[in-house]
Structure 1
């Protein structure tokens, strides 16, 4: 099951939407390019498996 969540680019600070696969577990990490500045962001995703609340932290890649 997938849902969307918002994160802010670590480079330009602009909001972005990303798909989160809820069946992939409570902690996920992957890299996604910003939809505005095209720079790569490392996304650290935490999903509360009871409430399905999603938290995303970002950092620069590299």
Structure 2
């Protein structure tokens, strides 16, 4: 994976396809960005597997409740 890329994701709030900029130059990250369609906050979690040199991007609405 390049250090900076554009990814098309599905917003967990409105279901629209939106483009997200992913910057992997800082390694693992946990951040929020706004959906360009519905303006709700999207939680991004970027993990870096240093052994296999792979990145995983997890996206959620961050409003799920755990009981």
Same fold, TM-score > 0.5, yes or no = yes
Q: What is the aligned partner in structure 2 of residue 5 from structure 1? A: 7
Q: Is the Cα contact below 8 Å between 1:32 and 1:40 reproduced in 2?
A: yes
Instruction: Name stretches of at least 5 consecutive residues in structure 1 with no aligned partner.
Output: none
C-alpha displacement at 1:61, in angstroms?
Answer: 3.9
Instruction: Name stretches of at least 5 consecutive residues in structure 2 with no aligned partner.
Output: none
Say what the alpha-carbon RMSD is for the aligned residues.
Answer: 2.2
With structure 1 as the length reference, what TM-score do the two structures score?
Answer: 0.67
C-alpha displacement at 1:37, in angstroms?
Answer: 0.7
Question: In terms of Rg, which structure is larger?
Answer: 2
Q: State the alpha-carbon separation in 2 of the partners of residues 13 and 31 from structure 1.
A: 17
Aligned residues: 59
Higher relative contact order (CA 8 A, sep 6+): 1
Looking at secondary structure, tell me which structure has more helix per residue.
1
Q: State the alpha-carbon separation in 2 of the partners of residues 10 and 56 from structure 1.
A: 14
